[in-house]
Amino acid sequence: MRRQHEPTSPARIVIAGGGFAGVTAAHQLRHAARTGHVEVALVSRENAFVFYPLMPEVIAGGLRVETILTSIRHVLPHARLYVGELTGVDLERQTVTIQHGLYQHHQRPLELPYDQLVLALGGVPATYGIPGLDDYAFDVQRLSNAFALRNHLIDLLEQADIEPDLAEQRRLLTVVVIGGGPTGVEVAAEIRSLFTHALPYYRAIQPDTARIVLVEALPRLLTGFPDTVAHRAARELRQRGIEVLLGCKVIQVEPAAVVLDDGTRLESRTIVSAIGVEPNPIVRSFGLPLDQRGRIVVDEYLRVTGHPNVWAIGDNAAVIDPATGRPYAPTAQHAVRQAKLLARNLVASLRGETLQPMRYRTRGMMVTLGDHDAIAWLGRVTLTGFLAWWLWRTYALLQMPRWDRRIRLAMEWTLDLLFPPELVQLKVGQPAPATRRLVEAALRRLREGPWPEAAPTVSTTASSVRRS
């Protein structure tokens, strides 16, 4: 396509979010950044990119935490990284405000100007109003909670091994996973795999003592998969000894129990929430158009409605699939595709070229079932067993950023096949499983200000976001 014009000076692009959507968008802008057409700044709460699809394997001990982490500075050497929390957006002045500091201590406000703003903030763990879920359940949408869950499971095994009361031993090793989506299915399967391979090393625990219960409010697992795939997954899980309760709604979570709508009470020392995510609540304060679920409304080119220099992708955006008329599912596959199109359209808009609409057909979905088993739905073809498991691992390996991480991942998978499970417990300041409550408290604190006295706003003069 013929180029209309080139920008006379580098455009300042600020990308908020260090997940799949934000990092991919920044990476796709590398050529424009290296040629001097744009200056890219990325705002992220962490300085590492987390490959969340492999989180269940970290929980089960098949992978070390470091294996699924990649330094953002290694992936995006062309971008300026700001490690901090996004606290505000001023659409009129075209600035964003972040708080940065050492582990949320001595935080200082920082104001970044932008010409183009990309909101890829992702989501926070959903609760759907279930009382006690925030306080007593581990969510698996945060790395710290997943790591804490891993240590907690090892601790359960240690305590059960020296517990003389068999009834209490069984209560210790009862795990309830709430949510029958891909994450819930994989977490339940990996926890079962961990217990299965670890119990031979705990001689005082009988093999049938451990109990894994998967609870889903809908009448089937894996919404988004075909019915045949969902039924097969439920059958495979049950054959592995996992109790699958369908059509059972959780109405309350207690410190050591889950209460269902039919009155059933599941006693458990370990409750895991895998019911999905909702848009980051901070977007509600930006003054942008939102849908009923709190997602930013965008057009088919991924621009925010009414704001041509503001873009939104990923879990915090309502990107409509023209084939279904509904927003795309909040998965890494769709976030990556949206990010690639956004980078292309953003550069095209700066050059005055025609934008391309979001048109993407889901290539397929895969879910692992533990112990070298998986289900892969590839449109018209469905694969199961070892072949599907191998396909899933190959796909994950290729999606991992940087070859050094891919090699480390392949090596760890190989070692996991050859050696006993890792049963080392690392007690390093595990957080309570109350992520949502902590997030909301942090947002309130940021709105009120980090210090009692008024603090001056610092305007950056860094080259990557400097005004011309």
Q: What is the pLDDT of residue 452?
A: 40
More confident residue, 86 or 449: 86
**Residue 450's pLDDT band (cuts 50, 70, 90):** very low
User: How far apart are the C-alpha atoms of 65 and 234, rounded to whole Å?
Assistant: 29
Q: Using one digit for the tens of pLDDT, what is the confidence trace for 11-28?
A: 999 999 999 999 999 999
Whether the per-residue pLDDT at 449 is higher than 70: the answer is no
**Residue 231 identity:** H
Q: What pTM did the predictor assign?
A: 0.84
Q: What is the pLDDT of residue 106?
A: 59
**Residue 442's pLDDT band (cuts 50, 70, 90):** low
**Residue 459's pLDDT band (cuts 50, 70, 90):** very low
Read off the pLDDT of each residue in 252-280 and give the average, rounded to a whole number.
Answer: 92
User: How far apart are the C-alpha atoms of 417 and 207, rounded to whole Å?
Assistant: 21
Q: What is the pLDDT of residue 108?
A: 74
More confident residue, 347 or 466: 347
Whether the per-residue pLDDT at 460 is higher than 80: the answer is no
Read off the pLDDT of each residue in 259-270 and give the average, rounded to a whole number.
Answer: 93
Q: Which of 91-105, 322-336, 390-404 is the least confident region? A: 91-105
Q: Using one digit for the tens of pLDDT, what is the confidence trace for 295-317?
A: 999 999 999 999 999 999 999 99
Query: In sequence order, which residues have a C-beta less than 8 Å from that of residue 403 and are 6 or more positions away?
Result: none
Beta bridge partners of 304: 298, 307
More confident residue, 363 or 39: 39
Instruction: Decide: 102 and 450 in contact? Cβ < 8 Å.
Output: no
How many CB atoms lie under 10 A from the CB of residue 241? 14
Instruction: Decide: 116 and 12 in contact? Cβ < 8 Å.
Output: yes
Read off the pLDDT of each residue in 64-86 and give the average, rounded to a whole number.
Answer: 93
Read off the pLDDT of each residue in 113-122 and give the average, rounded to a whole number.
Answer: 95
- Strands 317-318, 296-297: pairing is parallel
Whether the per-residue pLDDT at 343 is higher than 80: the answer is yes
